[in-house]
Structure 1
Amino acid sequence: MNRLTVYLLIVALLGACSTSDQQPQWIDNAAVDYPAEKYLTAIGEADNRETAAGRARANLAQIFQVAIKDNQQDFSQAIVNNSQGQSTSDNQLRVARFVNTQAQQVLEGTDIVSYWESPEGKVFSLALLDKAAASRRFRESIRDADRKTRELIEYASNQAPNPVAALRALEEARLSQLERDNSHRNLMVTAGKGINSPYSSDEVTALIRNALSTLQFAISADDSQIQSELGNAAASLGVQLVPASVYQLSSTLDTEPLQQKQGWWWIRGSLELELRQAEATLAKQRWPIKQSSMEAGMAQQRLRDTVNKKLPSYLYQMLTATPVNQ
């Protein structure tokens, strides 16, 4: 009996080794073991386990690719281009942090449940996501975004101490809605149905446009050309220019002397915008700027052109940034 037992064990071990060369069924049809109505799956292939697992997770995350829409673009540039009848398709995108947030949210519930190494040495991995668990996370994210949006709009409408604070809250609400939209798309992937929103991105956008149109600024600058360009930037956002306004918008352009390196002329500096009400600074921000050319005069002109082009975006960023006293 002992010899027979040893023999059977040897046969069993040999059988296990031979079947390891056979491609597992999940590589071609994971739904056999993991039904599609309950799970999302993806395969990764590489020369080692770690890389194969990473590729499997990445392939699974691609199912939840974040759709980029016009209302997720640089909002200030969208306002300017729309007011001038131009397309917003080339606007600077501001969705990188949403993409990262959503990718992390998806991968949080992803498990690598199987590996297989082919006779040629290729490693395959199977990534698995439970749809029900993922749907719960997406619904929670959506409800948090709706709550945050509601509170921010309420604050902007009834509690903000000044129009700039109200605008800042509305911009946060807009960003919250973008996150909500991404979570909603993900929920549609895992659950097949979403949750109706009490707000829409268009409604929040309309509130922002209205808030901008109620702002009244007096403009000043240390350079007459910059002052004129700053006035144009404010007007392009819908802000009213009122010389007697209690809100004073100013700009300062500091540049270093021209430097020549390897046949190119370089000019560097910084642009600062500040909004004050009497002695109080409501918003303030500074941006580095630089330009180059093979001609000294052209480098300076390009710097001016860059400032002129970016001023609307810079102004909107300053108005919606975190207050300087926080």
Structure 2
Amino acid sequence: MKKITLALPILLSLFLLSACAAPTNEEKAETERPDWIDHAQNKYSGQVYLTAVGDASNRTRASKNAIANLAEIFSVNVKAETKTLTEAVKEESVLGVTMESSSTLHRNIETESEQAIQGVEIKESWLSPTGEYYALAVLHRISAAQNLTESIIDLDEQTAELIDYSINVAPNSIVAVNALRTARDIQITRKMADLQLNYISGSGIPVDILSQKVEQLIRQQLASLKVSVEADIESQQSSLEAGLSHLGVTVVDASPLRISAKMDMIKPAYIDAWHWLRGSYVLTITENDQVISRKRWPVKVSSKQKELLTPRLQDKLNSRMNEYLQQLISDSPTL
């Protein structure tokens, strides 16, 4: 099933076309504060509707704020769970949640919230005697539940397609791992959408592909890799080998799949009684001498003693080696 997702700004503009009409007679005549501002559920039952009020100095902005506040209901109810889940994945998954993966995850969850509130309406508005505008955004729970159900079905289909691609189509092992990592992240998004669905309807949708299965496939794919390592410094060779072993990757003396490390540093600088060493650390994956992916990270160390710069640089690289390798192997390949 293919869903149509509108970005929140576009969504807001569509809703506000009707909200920007001339003030109603109620707005011109009423001086008493309407009950719906503080007790919307008296008119729009909380069992049937989700509601949110917005206020501003003009009617358009008040309507926009009301819709934004309604969207926030969805995000607030999953923010804590999202943080807990991603932290758990970082601890329990061999690939954790990389920077790219985390950014995609949050963007996907925001998209699901936007998808859920399609169908929201500005049902009430009021202009106070002091010139403050109020607007009430109303969303039928059934409409939101239908939108989320479609999203969850679509996310499950995406997961199945990525797993099939990883196993049967991916052109190389790194792309295969990346597809599985993406499937894992989609399942996190799916869990968040299911939490939203459970919040508004009282029940979710049973999951077809358990995240544990995806994690198992990731581990199996990593365990199948046989990689040789090449570094311009001996200590880096050992650090790379240890990091790959931590991921479950087998390191061998010679293999068509090779990871090479290079430090690209500029001449040390002496500034305000401190010695500084800056540059970048580069990891490259090649298969049969063809570059699959290359990633670069900025590095910087300082010391009062110049001779300590190199050991401190090595310590810093060692401390982040697992993170670097996770990104190199599981993030989208870059050259």
User: What band does the TM-score fall into relative to the shorter chain?
Assistant: 0.7 to 0.9
Counterpart residue type for residue 86 of structure 2: Q
Which residue of structure 2 lines up, in the alignment, with residue 24 of structure 1? 34
Which residue of structure 1 lines up, in the alignment, with residue 327 of structure 2? 317
Counterpart residue type for residue 203 of structure 2: K
How many angstroms does 1:140 deviate by?
Answer: 1.5
CA shift digits 1:19-60 (9 cap, x unpaired): 522011111221233232332001234455455445433432
Task: Tell me if the contact between 1:76 and 1:237 (Cα under 8 Å) persists in the aligned partners.
Answer: no
Which residue of structure 2 lines up, in the alignment, with residue 257 of structure 1? 267
Query: In structure 2, how many angstroms separate the alpha carbons of the residues matched to 1:39 and 1:318?
Result: 46
Distance 1:55 1:289, change over 3 A: farther
Query: In structure 2, how many angstroms separate the alpha carbons of the residues matched to 1:28 and 1:125?
Result: 12
Larger radius of gyration: 1
CA shift digits 1:188-247 (9 cap, x unpaired): 223222221111112211211222122121111111122211111111111111113331
User: Are 1:287 and 2:316 matched, yes or no?
Assistant: no
- Residue of structure 2 aligned with 1:177, choices 184, 187, 205: 187
Query: In structure 2, how many angstroms separate the alpha carbons of the residues matched to 1:118 and 1:298?
Result: 68
- Residue of structure 1 aligned with 2:74, choices 64, 68, 71: 64
CA shift digits 1:151-208 (9 cap, x unpaired): 1212223333443232122112112212211221222223222221111112211211
Where does structure 1 lack aligned partners over 5 or more consecutive residues? Answer: 1-14, 83-87
How many angstroms does 1:112 deviate by?
Answer: 3.4
CA shift digits 1:55-74 (9 cap, x unpaired): 43343233223222555249
Distance 1:46 1:309, change over 3 A: farther
Task: Tell me if the contact between 1:46 and 1:123 (Cα under 8 Å) persists in the aligned partners.
Answer: yes
Which residue of structure 2 lines up, in the alignment, with residue 5 of structure 1? none
TM-score normalised by L of structure 2:
0.77
RMSD of Structure 2 on Structure 1 (CA): 3.2
Counterpart residue type for residue 201 of structure 2: A
Worse-matched range after superposition: 295-304 or 37-46? 295-304
Query: In structure 2, how many angstroms separate the alpha carbons of the residues matched to 1:313 and 1:51?
Result: 44
Runs of 4+ in 1 over 6 A off after TM superposition: 15-18
Which residue of structure 1 lines up, in the alignment, with residue 106 of structure 2? 96
Query: In structure 1, how many angstroms separate the alpha carbons of the residues matched to 2:61 and 2:308?
Result: 49
Query: In structure 1, how many angstroms separate the alpha carbons of the residues matched to 2:236 and 2:323?
Result: 15
Relative contact order, CA 8 A, sep 6+: which one is greater? 2
Counterpart residue type for residue 102 of structure 1: E
User: Are 1:246 and 2:256 matched, yes or no?
Assistant: yes
Which residue of structure 1 lines up, in the alignment, with residue 126 of structure 2? 116
Task: Tell me if the contact between 2:94 and 2:219 (Cα under 8 Å) persists in the aligned partners.
Answer: no
